[in-house]
Structure 1
């Protein structure tokens, strides 16, 4: 294991253990931007633990994080870390197991390693040196080629004033593919795409780097395709995120663009 992958894994495991200690324990919930954007003390405590673990080995590196006073943007030069102490906090506060603690290591804005730990599911996803792993086993995206057998996931979140786009993207999925799922944690959804459990993960909104960088890296390392809404190679600052097993990616893109068509019609 590379040094940065080892650090990302140790930090994610440490933060995940802190979060797990408060899981299903009646923790107080606060709201941020809207009623579905929630945060808990467990998020803050887990992030502090992740940061402390990283700082033991990389004291000078930039850290980008969802909570508290960390940076919000990924530096385009030099090394940095991107952390999400609990991706899927809505699941966490409802006692559902689909949440992760995710840590990505980047250099010049590109992911070089990362880990998404799912303590309540007892699964650990690791990105290291161009390979994707779950619990030590190498991952590969689904080899399904028939869109009527695909399962596609609409991900991230559309605010209340953009729910027409959410509805449009769901319609685009169900009209083109066999089935649809939504798990409430983008990092987990992308990891599941890398593992071959679903064939695609789509959104037309800009994904925060802490919600997406590890997962997008896992999909690519597992042999999949990740683009922005226009079909260009995805970056942490792209608009939209469309990940697939690489089969019928244009059709997966078309489903995501249903939301764009709705947005354009309402402008």
Structure 2
């Protein structure tokens, strides 16, 4: 097994392990805390799941670094194992122990444990596990759901597309969110909002959604794993200017590769 294949396999195993920890507390008695605002929530399940993910990966790659959503306690290894940004060189793991915590605390099953393995700035493997449903989306040199190959949808007519607005807008920026919803409603057949960025991207890769638009800056743990899946499934991911999306881009437009320009136009409409 090459190093790349090994990392992709470990991403899958770690996603399952962390997701299993979170699932034990799902729909149980939770102590919910807030972070940046009253709707930015976190639970002990997030932290415990993240610790399990890190422990699983460190058993195989003890010297790698991590970019994680949650602050956690002591981590085995060097003091600098947790880093704030994805480095351009070296091996890093990007971890979101519960993507969709707001769904998790409401008892909604649309949340994931998502992991991306990155080497020298390029994603070499990713996994998004949906513990409440049992689905595992994974991508190495191809993309799969529970072993079945993922292929982005073949729809070409925007009026048949289902498109998701993703991201978070502060209270004083809700006008932009409203304009984005209007643009999607005017240009496409239907709209979905799942409440989990990673699940949304996995669903684009799986063909259940035809596109997703985020006009706001986002975190790498919300995006990198799913972007890799969309691309491996034959889809397209850019920023609002149509440039190839990277983990430091400030916007994201994902599509099945058909009518991508129409999604870019919808995003531009939201910003006017």
**Shift in Å at residue 63 of structure 1?**
0.4
Partner of 1:100: 112
Q: 4+ residue stretches of structure 1 with deviation over 3 A?
A: none
- Alpha-carbon distance between aligned partners in 1 of 2:48 and 2:57, rounded to the nearest angstrom: 15
SS at match of 1:67: coil
Partner of 2:93: 81
Report if aligned partners of 1:66, 1:72 keep a CA contact under 8 Å in 2.
no
**Shift in Å at residue 160 of structure 1?**
1.4
**Shift in Å at residue 29 of structure 1?**
0.4
- Alpha-carbon distance between aligned partners in 1 of 2:84 and 2:103, rounded to the nearest angstrom: 23
Report if aligned partners of 1:24, 1:95 keep a CA contact under 8 Å in 2.
yes
What TM-score, normalized to structure 1? 0.96
Partner of 1:167: 178
Pairing 1:138–2:138 present: no
What TM-score, normalized to structure 2? 0.94
Residue among 238, 242, 257 paired with 2:253: 242
Q: 1:17-71 CA distances to partner (integer Å, 9 max, x unpaired)? A: 0000000002110011111100000000000000111111111111000001532
Partner of 2:75: none
SS at match of 1:18: helix
- In the alignment, structure 2 segments of 5+ residues that lack a partner are 73-81
**Shift in Å at residue 256 of structure 1?**
1.4
**Aligned alpha-carbon RMSD (Å):** 0.9
**Shift in Å at residue 161 of structure 1?**
1.8
- In the alignment, structure 1 segments of 5+ residues that lack a partner are 262-267
Residue among 6, 12, 16 paired with 2:15: 12
**Shift in Å at residue 209 of structure 1?**
0.4
Partner of 1:264: none
- Alpha-carbon distance between aligned partners in 2 of 1:30 and 1:227, rounded to the nearest angstrom: 34
Report if aligned partners of 1:154, 1:202 keep a CA contact under 8 Å in 2.
yes
Residue among 201, 213, 219 paired with 2:230: 219
Q: 1:93-149 CA distances to partner (integer Å, 9 max, x unpaired)? A: 0000000000100011111101000010111000112x1100000000000011110
